[in-house]
Amino acid sequence: MSGDKLFYNEYEHFYEMAEHSDAFRYFCKDAFGDDFSQDGFSDIKQIDRIVEHIPTGRESHMLDVGCGNGKMLGYLQKRTNAYIHGFDYSANAINTARKLFRTNAEFRIGSIGEIDYPPEQFDVITSMDTMYFAPDMEKFLLQAIGWLKKSGVFFICYQEGDVMPKTDNKDTTILARALQKNGIPYEVEDITKETYDLLRKKRETALLYQKAFREEGSTEWFDMLMAQTDCATESFDLFAKKMARYIYTVRKR
């Protein structure tokens, strides 16, 4: 996870909590299928979609853009034996990642638009709700694709605050327009309903752990979960008019 520098202190606080809170760790396992210190929507089903794109073996390299504390990368490494790389602007997140994953792993403190990697280094690059923070999305897309090996995959989970507008069935999200402007072919999958169902489960699970958060002194994180999932208390039709979520897959040619 990355983010605008205005939110740096909030993310530092979040990853400090994620390292020490048993209530949050157990909540993540029950809500998402595993604990990756999720501050969003990525459950085990979404993350397992990445596995099919990662060549198995230590010659395989993958990068997570805004990797948080690296737990998602650690899971993918266990599944594929790949060498994992990640960057995030949160020092707390990267320090935790470096402690958790010491073998065939590289974690760097850095931000989108400021960090760089050698060309054609990665088989897979992932961005789980981090493209919003690119100062120049069109420029970053070209940069990230340059980091991919030939036939490599850029896997992007992306959400827009409003439902994705379409004109003659043409994809017109901010991300899609940036891809189109750069002439980059892509595939897109609508996971808005899946996200709605996940948010409802996230809220139900948080309520089950309300007492545990309170006894641990982590009430503020329970309150955060309630705020994040308030939109799922309305019908899906109303939800879909305000929020949409997609998986974009870019294959380097």
For residues 41-56, average pLDDT: 94
Query: Computed over its alpha carbons, how large is the radius of gyration of the chain?
Result: 18
Sequence-ordered alpha helix ranges (H) in the chain: 8-20, 22-32, 44-51, 71-80, 91-100, 137-147, 174-181, 192-208, 210-216, 219-229, 236-240
Average pLDDT estimate for 149-174: 74
Number of domains in the chain: 1
Q: What is the mean pLDDT of the chain?
A: 91
Q: Would you state the structure tokens that stand for residue 13, as one six-digit string?
A: 């606080």
Distance, CA of 21 to CA of 182 (rounded, Å)? 43
pLDDT tens-digit profile of 97-125?
A: 999 999 999 999 999 999 999 999 999 99
C-alpha distances in Å from residue 206, one per residue of 26, 72, 110, 175, 216: 10, 21, 31, 31, 14
Q: How far is CA 2 from CA 7, 67, 151, in A?
A: 9, 7, 26
Q: Give me the CATH number covering residue 93.
A: 3.40.50.150
Per-residue pLDDT at 8: 80
Which residue do the tokens 């099919």 mark? 52
Q: What is the pLDDT of residues 21-47, one digit of tens each?
A: 999 999 999 999 999 998 888 899 999
Q: How far apart are CA 73 and CA 75, in angstroms?
A: 5
Q: For residue 117, give the 3-state DSSP assignment.
A: coil
| Residue 71 confidence (pLDDT) above 70 | yes
Phi-psi region of 104 (alpha: psi -120 to 50; beta: other; left: phi over 0): left
Closest Cα to residue 225, out of 208, 246, 250?
A: 208
pLDDT > 90 in the chain, percent: 80
Contact call for residues 54 and 80 (beta carbons, < 8 A): yes
Per the structure, the complete domain to which residue 13 belongs is given by 5-251
Instruction: Give the SS3 label for residue 183.
Output: coil
